[in-house]
Amino acid sequence: MKTQYLQRMLIGLGLAMALIAPWASATNYYVVASSQQPSPTPPWTNWGWAHTNLVEVVAAARDNDIVYVTNNAKYYLTNQITVSYAITVRSWGPGGIYDPINTILDGNYPTTTNRHFTLNNYGATVAGFTLTNGWGSEKTNILGNAGANGGSIFLYYGMVTNCIIMRNYALNTNASSDSGGGGIFFGNDSAKSGSVWNCTISANSSRQYGGGINMKVGKWRIVNCTISGNSTGIEGGGLYASPNQPSVVISNCCVVSNLSGCSAGGIKMNNYTECYNSVIMGNTANNDCGGGIRMGGACVLRNCLIADNLHTVGGGGGGIDAAGSGSLIQNCTIVSNRTVQSGGGITLGIWYAASLTIENTIIWGNREGADGSGASSNLYIGQGPNTFTNCCTSPRIVSAYATEVNTITNDPRFVSVTAADFRLQSDSPCINAGVNRDWMEGGWDAYGNRRIDNFRRTVDIGAYEYLSKGTVFGFQ
């Protein structure tokens, strides 16, 4: 019996060692600026031996290795860095924290024309850099994506986190939605997945699609990001999402002050795109439709503020232009948007058939006229059928292409329109006036407050729940 017990222990120990062996073999590599290291010494495994060539160090790293790049330096790249193993490339600031402000990777455009990174492994991670002056052109296309760009990053698999991605360019001439992504291009393959977390994607530009980001077929996530000041010549000033399947999820993001030469100044949501708990504000579309968002079928827009967006020429939809079937707009606040033609707040079916469900949503204070001085224009419904349930808008919805239930036509009573504070005042008719859905139990509003509290038990209309003032006591 003792022999059998000892054999089992040895077998278990062998299995445990086999499981931890890959981690035990991981190597840390170090990179510093050339001015800080006169004589790099292979294998570059401590600060004293650190290399000055990031491309060579990444090429030497293998699964589970970490490449540390010291801060207070600017690194000029002459080639893109391809990450084909499950490694982490990250900045090293005081105490080992990320330091994107002071750790800058410069793509060196126009001296050279290359993006910063291509990520091609599920475990590949880039963290804590400013990535600037990258260029994605036809000659940097990879992995069979003939028009793909990505001025800074081509993400086929992997994760980017805590980075500032700014002033990068995707200026190819291929007029295809497979091209673009001034900051990031997400690769076109349904089997792939990747994510971007806690990043600022700003002041990037694309000649075609997605001034900041272009997301193609795959399972992609954008979380806690600011996407601002990007521009594109065609569609999706901030972000162009065309997943078809499996999905794109955008959550807890700010998409602000982006520009499109055609439609979707902020976000283009094609089929199977979902956007949650986000702010889409101050974007402009200079043609076609959708100053803030252009939405296709099978999309979800929930707990979002769509405000102060502008559409200048063509169809309409200062806030949102929506078409297709099966999409859901739920618990949103669509306010102070403008269009020169139709539907300052929302257009439904202006070009293509629309069949949407809109619930618990405020559509208020939207207008015609580029300067907002025109007539009130909350809705334009051109095709249907569309369903409005427990919404707040004016005038009452009367259309052959829409049905409405429990519409509120009174002023929603925002805290301050001039200060862009679209929370509800205590006397708002939208408080406790929504229809409850399963996701609301344990769910959150756009401000991070619980959708269903323990007192009223009924959801409010709009992106923000009203919090009554007072003190809650607990007893034991």
- Tell me, rounded to whole angstroms, the distance of Cα 310 from its chain centroid: 20
- The answer, yes or no, to whether the previous bond of 395 is cis (omega within 30 of 0) is yes
How do beta strands 414-416 and 421-424 pair?
antiparallel
How far CA 157 is from CA of 76, 95, 123, 304, 347, in Å, comes to: 24, 29, 8, 28, 36
Q: How far is 367 from 377, CA to CA, in rounded Å?
A: 5
Would you tell me how many other CB atoms lie within 10 Å of the CB of residue 60? 15
- CB 160, CB 97: distance < 8 Å: no
The domain ranges of the chain are 27-256
- Whether this prediction's pTM lies above 0.75 is answered by yes
Q: How far is 106 from 90, CA to CA, in rounded Å?
A: 15
* Tens-digit pLDDT string for the chain (476 aa): 444 433 444 334 343 434 444 444 799 999 999 888 888 899 999 999 999 999 999 999 999 999 999 999 999 998 899 999 999 999 999 999 999 999 999 999 988 878 999 999 999 999 999 999 999 865 544 555 455 689 999 999 999 999 999 999 998 766 666 678 999 999 877 778 899 999 999 999 998 899 999 998 889 999 999 999 999 999 999 999 986 666 899 999 999 999 999 999 999 998 889 999 999 999 999 988 999 999 999 999 999 999 999 999 888 899 999 998 999 999 999 999 999 888 999 999 887 888 999 999 999 999 988 777 778 889 999 998 999 999 999 999 989 999 999 999 999 999 999 999 999 999 999 999 999 999 999 999 999 999 997 777 899 999 999 987 653 434 34
| Alpha-carbon torsion (422, 427, 430, 435), positive or negative | positive
The structure tokens listed for 41 are 């010494």
